[in-house]
Structure 1
Amino acid sequence: MTVILSSFLTFTGVVTNMVKSREWSRKTREEVITLHRKGNGYKKIAKMLNIPRETIGSIIRKFKAKGTVETLPGRGRKKMLTSTAVHYLKRRVEKSPHVTAEELRKDLSDVGTEVSAQTIRRTLRNEGLHARTPRRTPLLSPKNKKSRLQYAKSHVDKPQKFWDSVLWTDETKLELFGPMDQRYVWRRKNKAYEEKNTLPTVKHGGGSIMLWGCFASAGTGKLQRVQGTMNSLQYQEILDDNVMQSVTNLRLGRRWIFQQDNDPKHTSKSTRAWLQIKGWNILEWPSQSPDLNPIENLWWDLKKAVAVRKPKNVTELEAFAHDEWAKIPVDRCKTLVSSYASRLKAVITVKGCCTKY
């Protein structure tokens, strides 16, 4: 790395920080010169423009010496890194986004350029590169990417009528004091542990529930709590109790399509046999693809809405979940489904990798 960096950074300069005085506008400086030419003295001009007398003198002396009121080259704080060094930093972080500012500082130090990690962070921010918490995404194998890409290409041209007939389903976990319950507190330094400034927590999140739900372009369908650990048999019972009622309520018609992910209990031998008996039209689904299921967006909406209500126990958690699920606007559901082609195009663009959805 040192050898490569040495050849890349042909010259990197570090200069002493200079204190920069206030720079008056060109219009103001021109007014000073105009008033001076009319015979006004320094003191009078300073009073007229509300500018220090010393500054008036400086502007006039500069004009007499240089014949201009323009800002001359060389004014202001000098850059601590040359354009070559900045170019190196940009290339480095774009190629290796997980590299730290301290590692970059050491790289520069190895070739004789001593700057702080903070200077590197500031330089990269000025170039539009900001340190951010990385988004967590499913681990995709080459096989997963190929499957996702194939799914996207084979479905991207489906008419909107096709997607409007899909019943999207999934499970999610709702915690009593989960990650959605984010709060802030205004406090003074060293007062973090005063009782009024703390947020009491309960070990293991204070309880949680697992929910199965479904929705379509026409709105949200049934929502049911999963008791205990769900296995294939319980999954089939949930589908039996909720799917057809949701299809009827949402008026999906006789050509409706059932969507589920590739969870083992969804694809077990007994579940596959059960679905075959039902005769439902199953939407093929690529593994590791939560970003392709728009119900994930509704789960996010649900968790935020429930967190705002601050349930005190699991009973309230479940009650609030059912209440907020029913409140999700039909327009929200319709928008998610009507834009589904955009998800597929995004997958194609990134060649099967994860998308922002």
Structure 2
Amino acid sequence: MTQKITREHQRAQCIALRKVDSSYRAIATDVGISKTSVQRALEIFEEIGGFRDRSRSGRPKKLNERNVRMLKPLAKDDDNRSSARELMVKLNESLDKPICRRTIINYLQKCGYEYKIKIEKPFLNKENRKARLQWCLEHSNWTVDEWKKVLFSDESTFYVIKRKSETKIWRTKDEQWKEGCMAVAATGGGGRVGFWSVITWQGTGCFRVYSENTNSDVYCDILDNYLVPTLQLYGLEDNFMFQHDSARYHTSKQTDGKLQELNVKVLKWPAKSPDLNPIEHLWSIIDNKLKSRRMCSVKDLTDGLSAEWLSITQELCEKLVFSMPQRIQKCIAVNGKCIDY
């Protein structure tokens, strides 16, 4: 700002000295600028009657409003979200002067688009969506006090080395849960362990880390040695409901017999509904924390999982369980489709 004011002041001095018939050379010496700058100051004053730089028209835009209107639907095609290079090829078919990939990126960013990895979601067919909607309607009147009586359980798999198939797309912030902006879940890579546990509004439950494939024998052992101690820990032996999904070993005759033996009342749960289960949110939290740990073996992974699970607060568990009414209302609003949880 100071430099600009000084330049305009110098130009004003040039005009004043020229009015008293000073030569270009003398003005340049007195003001302390070049002779060419003196000439330019006089030309600007003669043209616009002032001391500021001439207004500039700027570089012409590479895409006009019509071109931008053509670009937006190409970027929003949920059946085929394209990369910037693919969008460039498609748009150039309609342009007289071809544009580059960088130009596409600049205009997408101006339109509010971000280059993001697709959020993973389970595949929901028509029957899945119908069942989810029906379940939510049946539980839409449940209060927080009723959800406080539920133990939410889940299993997840964690990897020493995690290799994900990451698909990046262009989308706006509010489009992350749209159909074309999500990817079907896939995992793989490195040594791995399974992790089972439960949460209540009072906090986390006992957990088991295991390397074997889960079957009815393994699951019944979990119920005996990890679910029951959790019930005793929180005083829930009598008035509670146990939630688990419809995995085959959860619904086997052996597991049903074990649950009856333990006098455990099961909360019916719709298939492919991790977004309705509040404990699911903890897996991404733990996974992100594990990324900061140096892990070279399954033992390192097991130690990390144990430490991170024990660090989860009661306040977070309470917040997650208390979110159940909102989850249900959101699922009803989208007719059983995936929700943003």
User: d(CA) in 2 for partners of 1:338 and 1:40?
Assistant: 79
TM-aligned CA deviation for residue 139 of structure 1: 1.0
Report the counterpart of residue 324 of structure 1 in structure 2: 308
Report the counterpart of residue 16 of structure 2 in structure 1: 39
After TM superposition, list the pairs within 5 Å mapping 1:5-44 onto structure 2: 28=5, 32=9, 35-36=12-13, 39=16
After TM superposition, list the pairs within 5 Å mapping 1:190-339 onto structure 2: 205-252=189-236, 254-339=238-323
Alignment RMSD, CA only?
A: 3.5
Deviates more, 1:245-254 or 1:134-143: 245-254
Report the counterpart of residue 3 of structure 1 in structure 2: none
Deviates more, 1:95-104 or 1:211-220: 95-104
Give TM-score, length-normalised by structure 2.
Answer: 0.76
Match of 2:116 among 126, 132, 143: 132
CA contact (8 A) 1:45 1:56 kept: no
Query: Is structure 2 residue 70 aligned with structure 1 residue 88?
Result: yes
Q: Which amino acid aligns with 2:104?
A: I
Q: Which amino acid aligns with 1:111?
A: S
Q: Which has the higher strand share?
A: 2
CA contact (8 A) 2:84 2:104 kept: yes
Deviates more, 1:105-114 or 1:230-239: 105-114
Report the counterpart of residue 150 of structure 1 in structure 2: 134
Distance verdict in 2 for CA 1:135–1:306, change over 3 Å: closer
State how many pairs are aligned.
Answer: 308
TM-aligned CA deviation for residue 133 of structure 1: 1.9
TM-aligned CA deviation for residue 218 of structure 1: 0.7
Report the counterpart of residue 155 of structure 2 in structure 1: 171
User: d(CA) in 1 for partners of 2:301 and 2:228?
Assistant: 26
Match of 2:61 among 76, 79, 85: 79
1:136-185 Cα distance to aligned partner (Å, 9 max, x none): 211111111222223333334421112222111111122223359xxxxx
Q: Which amino acid aligns with 1:324?
A: E
Unaligned runs of 5+ in 1: 1-23, 181-203
Report the counterpart of residue 88 of structure 2 in structure 1: 105
User: d(CA) in 2 for partners of 1:347 and 1:58?
Assistant: 69
Give TM-score, length-normalised by structure 1.
Answer: 0.73
Deviates more, 1:296-305 or 1:227-236: 296-305
Distance verdict in 2 for CA 1:163–1:65, change over 3 Å: same
TM-aligned CA deviation for residue 258 of structure 1: 0.6
User: d(CA) in 2 for partners of 1:349 and 1:239?
Assistant: 35
User: d(CA) in 2 for partners of 1:55 and 1:155?
Assistant: 79
Match of 1:66 among 48, 62, 65: 48
Unaligned runs of 5+ in 2: 19-26, 165-187
TM-aligned CA deviation for residue 71 of structure 1: 8.3
Distance verdict in 2 for CA 1:53–1:245, change over 3 Å: farther
What SS does structure 2 have at the residue aligned with 1:136?
strand
User: d(CA) in 1 for partners of 2:237 and 2:261?
Assistant: 19
Deviates more, 1:265-274 or 1:65-74: 65-74
Q: Which amino acid aligns with 1:164?
A: K
